A and B are shown apart, each in its own frame.
Chain A
Amino acid sequence: GQNIDQPTEMTATEGAIVQINCTYQTSGFNGLFWYQQHAGEAPTFLSYNVLDGLEEKGRFSSFLSRSKGYSYLLLKELQMKDSASYLCAVRLNQAGTALIFGKGTTLSVSS
């Protein structure tokens, strides 16, 4: 079967940096996605990695190591509005195929 693991919950304070890890063991790999989901809302796309390395986009960065089956999402200068669930998802096959999601990490940011 397909396995995508991420921590269930994390807490952090405003202004801090937090790293959310995701490990995957899947039958195929054609890209890893991170989504942000606020309570009661749909997931919002954050980042996409298909090659090894770091992708930076403002306060958010995402890293991928295909050989290790590992990714992380790095959030800098945390704000209260960053309190949300963060979903790691893997696309198994070529473009045009659906995503397999991890269970999500609920991040709580306090002042």
Chain B
Amino acid sequence: SAVISQKPSRDICQRGTSLTIQCQVDSQVTMMFWYRQQPGQSLTLIATANQGSEATYESGFVIDKFPISRPNLTFSTLTVSNMSPEDSSIYLCSVEMHRGGDTQYFGPGTRLTVL
């Protein structure tokens, strides 16, 4: 599997501010995704990070709130903008590896708390 790192691992932020989360993979991957896991809940897809073009967002998520960059095949960022306490969650990036069935692997996650 790929080695996936995320920065920061956790943060506590004030309402109204923005936080950018980085996801770095140790090998080139075609597909990268961003998920959110709210407390006690399962994972919800935010968007697919497309290399060289705009991200594809799921229903309920918009670019103004969650801008995403994907400048190359090993790196992506997710920004949580104008944060509110409802944005407190774990944010995870995942990558798809074409080994053993196009499996998706997850980064360690970023635990965000908004006060």
Contact = CB atoms under 8 A, between A and B. Distances in A.
A37 to B, nearest CB: 9
Contacts of A91: 102
Contacts of B92: 42-43
Interface residues of B, number: 25
Interface stretch (A12-20, A69-77, A101-109): A101-109
B102 A31 contact: yes
Contacts of B14: none
A87 interface: yes
B98 interface: yes
B28 interface: no
A110 B35 CA distance: 31
User: Nearest 6 A-B pairs (CB), nearest first?
Assistant: A95-B102, A42-B106, A48-B101, A101-B42, A101-B43, A98-B45
Interface of A: 31, 33, 35, 40-45, 48, 50, 87, 89, 91, 95-104
